[in-house]
Structure 1
């Protein structure tokens, strides 16, 4: 997913992204990478918990 698509879907105006400096673009790229890493970790933890029985509710 492109940087513009990622942030536009989260309400950041495209003109603000287009006007961002190289330093700001680098920061946004790093933040997007951290977001994806966190999503992978959360998904892996949820799958592991479901496969091991996890917490019983009820």
Structure 2
């Protein structure tokens, strides 16, 4: 299996019909997806509001 993957990679790299746009797209699409995921995570995190816990009554231990 590994040899087959290497052969495909070699054929793609040495292909005369390979365009720069193909290489750019191969790197750009995953990079944009990662940036969108990070931005979404940052947005969700900023939407959370910190809440303080206040003890109203001390019930004691074991009661």
- TM-score normalised by the chain length of structure 2: 0.46
- Compare relative contact order (CA 8 Å, sep 6+) and give the higher one, 1 or 2: 1
